[in-house]
Amino acid sequence: MDKVEHEYGANQIQVLEGLEAVRKRPGMYIGSVSVRGLHHLVYEIVDNSVDEALAGFCNSIEVTIEPGNIICVEDNGRGIPVDKHPKTGISAAETVYTILHAGGKFGGDSGYKVSGGLHGVGSSVVNALSEWTEVTIQRDGGIYQMKFERGKTVQPLERIGDSDKTGTKVRFLADSTIFETLEYEYEVLEKRFREMAFLTKGLKISIEDKRIVEKQEGEEAVEEEQKERKSEFCFEGGLNSFVEYLNKNKEKINEMPIYIEKDGEVPIEVAIQYTTSYSENIYTFVNNINTIEGGTHLEGFKRAVTKVFNDYARNHGVLKEKDQNLQGEDIREGMTAVISVKVKEPQFEGQTKTKLGNSNVTGVVANAVTDALSTYLEENPNVAKSILDKCISASRAREAARKARELARKKNSMEGSTLPRKIGRL
């Protein structure tokens, strides 16, 4: 499709345009053409499988880096619909891969714009930026396949066999004329898929590296060596497994993470585990995207945690009337937490567009965390006491540090600062 078409649906407006736009300005769609952008291609495809999992129809995703940096992703979902559009005669599957959906709602049946990529534009973008793409679908008793080159259909969807299974398999080779490098970094992909598996409990995601490493030996002898690596992630514990993983080498205060889950307009899931360490470790996600700059969900969480612990401390005589409230930072010392929310139309702000802006989320998270955490503390007084002991020693340490700093400043000002004079002499 070369010209821009405007299709107005009943309740959503989508601007559909050709894939040439993507090839002209790839950075607009995947952020960059560096190795980061290259990895985005994989995330975009895997996100479609994750969507199918969130819709409840897929529990396994297999990712393979094949020799020559070909990526293969296979899921056991329903398979992309293969039916032909009555007017155009083009299959639904081909439409998904050849038409850029630059706007409107996305995210399969889950209704959320679930995207590891910052831009969430999916399969057609990957197709546009690949030298070739091959899609194989098992569905309706058949095996169907279609092929593309740089976004152009070279083999429309055809039935190539029978099958009683369902699922989608996508193989693609990123376009070397667009990307600076085609060398995927196994560790980067592995980390992302581990994270995605934590965020979607019960979903199995595997990654395998089948690339052939060429080993130079002397002048003529070139030995080919296969360095196989494979990881498989599946966590029945979801976010609980995530915080346990983050704390694996630390001494725990609460062995069982505090787990909070609430469905509703803004579904939220939180896991908290305290350790004896002095650092604060909070990871936040919106629609499976790591919001490294935080935002309204994090604000709601912090607000609730500060209030709940202070209220508990007052009600149980840990803080006396004359005592000052505990500060948020003291309460978060030694805390490891993961917060995951699903937001229908997320607004991302900040330098790297990884800060959630939707203001209604603050209250939703604060309410859910307040209810669940106060109940937890009442039911687990020993854990409550251990955490509060730690908060109070953090508070004392902070107070002592402040006093020491003040004293040092006072001493300095009485002796007179030597710095300006020295600088003056230079």
Helices 186-199/35-54 angle, 10° precision? 20
Task: Count the residues of the shown chain that bind ligand 28G, applying the rule CB under 6 A.
Answer: 16
Among 169, 210, 250, 252, binds ligand 28G (CB under 6 A): 169
Tokens of 62: 């297999």
If one asks whether residue 190 binds ligand 28G (CB under 6 A), the answer comes out as: no
If one asks whether residue 91 binds ligand 28G (CB under 6 A), the answer comes out as: no
CB 124 within 8 A of CB 92: no
The C-alpha atoms of residue 366 and residue 345 are separated, in whole angstroms, by 19
If one asks whether residue 120 binds ligand 28G (CB under 6 A), the answer comes out as: no
Q: Which long-range contacts (CB under 8 A, 24 or more apart) does 132-135 make?
A: 132/172, 132/173, 133/97, 133/170, 133/171, 133/172, 134/170, 134/171, 134/172, 135/80, 135/93, 135/97, 135/168, 135/169, 135/170
The span of 112-120, 167-175, 239-247, 396-404 binding ligand 28G (CB under 6 A) equals 167-175
CB 40 within 8 A of CB 104: no
Cβ-based nearer residue to ligand 28G, 170 or 331: 170
Cβ-based nearer residue to ligand 28G, 106 or 309: 106
CB 293 within 8 A of CB 121: no
Distance in Å, CB of 96 to ligand 28G, minimum: 6
Distance in Å, CB of 323 to ligand 28G, minimum: 56
Tokens of 410: 């006072």
Cβ-based nearer residue to ligand 28G, 51 or 333: 51
Among 17, 41, 74, 117, binds ligand 28G (CB under 6 A): 74
Among 31, 81, 156, 357, binds ligand 28G (CB under 6 A): 81
What's the residue count for the chain? Answer: 426
Q: Is 30 exposed, middle or buried (0-12, 13-18, 19+ CB in 10 A)?
A: buried
If one asks whether residue 48 binds ligand 28G (CB under 6 A), the answer comes out as: yes
If one asks whether residue 168 binds ligand 28G (CB under 6 A), the answer comes out as: yes
Among 73, 100, 337, 372, binds ligand 28G (CB under 6 A): 73
If one asks whether residue 171 binds ligand 28G (CB under 6 A), the answer comes out as: no
- Interface residues with ligand 28G (CB under 6 A) are 45, 48-49, 52, 73-75, 77-78, 80-81, 96, 108, 168-170
